[in-house]
């Protein structure tokens, strides 16, 4: 479902696209959200190192992607840091029923400030999308959500339930903007290759056969809202300049 040149995006598409571009429009659209500063809480002594990294990551966002930093503070009330020994590596957890808060497990396993900032931003975007779903309704119909149909993520290659696809597309669109903005910072040349690689991989995923399969799937199920969101984000990624 290609997007025509004269295509008029719906309010939900606009609020996803404009806010997750992390520019002046983002500040305007989220102005009336949470007015406090994000709290960081460690659930156990083993998580203190993660707590320190989270503070550093937020400072990193404030210095290098200030609009994304303000977005995190407006959308997120509390970040819980925890250590899960049975879990290999880092993982983030967000819950629709606890919008505004999320958990970061084994956060200290992330080895760069840029990656740590991306992880926090990733979960914050989920919180924003929960707020949009509360305002506009779920991205797909509830009868479709109830189906345990599994698709393949173009971004990770992992299995993804159809109820999570629009969330994933919006998250990766936001992270694409994050990596592209980081790449322009003169004083973090050592991270240039990381930023460029991440941006290139995300853009390629939006053009992949796996992404087209997602579009075809939702078209076949007559999920108009999801199809339009996915098509609009794909169109916008084509307009982003990696240079």
Q: Give the pTM.
A: 0.93
Among residues 136, 162, 187, which one ends one of the domains? 136
Per-residue confidence band for 4, with pLDDT thresholds at 50, 70 and 90 = very low
Domain for residue 23, yes or no?
no
CB 3 within 8 A of CB 229: no
Kind of pairing between the strands at 39-42 and 91-94: unpaired
* Whether residue 140 has pLDDT greater than 50: yes
Among residues 94, 121, 136, which one ends one of the domains? 136
Structure-block tokens of residue 193: 């290759």
Q: How many domains does the chain have?
A: 2
Q: What is the CA radius of gyration of the chain?
A: 18
Among residues 107, 136, 165, which one ends one of the domains? 136
Domain for residue 60, yes or no?
yes
Domain extent for 146: 138-243
Handedness of CA 85, 88, 90, 94 (dihedral sign): negative
Mean pLDDT, to the nearest integer, of 23-28? Answer: 93
Kind of pairing between the strands at 78-82 and 91-94: unpaired
Mean pLDDT, to the nearest integer, of 96-114? Answer: 92
* Predicted pLDDT at 128: 96
Q: Does 83 lie in the same domain as 154?
A: no
Handedness of CA 118, 188, 38, 46 (dihedral sign): positive
Domain for residue 5, yes or no?
no
Mean pLDDT, to the nearest integer, of 110-123? Answer: 95
* Predicted pLDDT at 109: 94
Q: Does 108 lie in the same domain as 149?
A: no
Q: Does 53 lie in the same domain as 102?
A: yes
Q: Does 234 lie in the same domain as 143?
A: yes
Q: Does 242 lie in the same domain as 147?
A: yes
CB 176 within 8 A of CB 201: no
Mean pLDDT, to the nearest integer, of 186-200? Answer: 79
Angle between helices 165-183 and 209-220 (to 10 degrees): 150
């Amino acid at each position: 479902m290609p997007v025509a040149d004269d295509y008029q995006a719906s309010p939900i598409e606009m609020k996803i696209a404009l806010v997750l571009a992390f520019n002046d429009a983002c500040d305007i659209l989220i102005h009336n959200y949470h007015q406090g500063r994000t709290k960081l809480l460690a659930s156990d002594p083993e998580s203190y190192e993660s707590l320190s990294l989270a503070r550093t990551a937020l400072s990193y966002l404030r210095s290098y992607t200030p609009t994304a930093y303000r977005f995190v503070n407006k959308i997120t009330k509390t970040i819980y840091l925890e250590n899960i020994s049975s879990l290999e590596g880092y993982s983030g957890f967000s819950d629709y029923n606890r919008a505004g808060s999320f958990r970061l497990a084994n956060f200290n396993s992330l080895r760069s400030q840029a990656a740590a900032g991306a992880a926090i931003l990733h979960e914050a975007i989920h919180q924003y999308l929960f707020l949009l779903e509360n305002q506009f309704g779920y991205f797909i119909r509830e009868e479709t959500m109830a189906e345990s149909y599994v698709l393949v993520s173009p971004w990770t290659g992992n299995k993804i339930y159809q109820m999570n696809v629009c969330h994933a597309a919006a998250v990766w669109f936001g992270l694409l903007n994050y990596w592209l903005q980081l790449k322009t910072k003169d004083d973090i040349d050592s991270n240039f290759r990381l930023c460029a690689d991440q941006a290139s991989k995300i853009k390629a995923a939006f053009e992949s056969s796996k992404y087209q399969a997602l579009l075809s799937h939702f078209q076949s199920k007559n999920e108009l809202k999801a199809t339009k969101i996915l098509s609009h984000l794909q169109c916008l990624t084509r307009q982003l300049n990696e240079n």
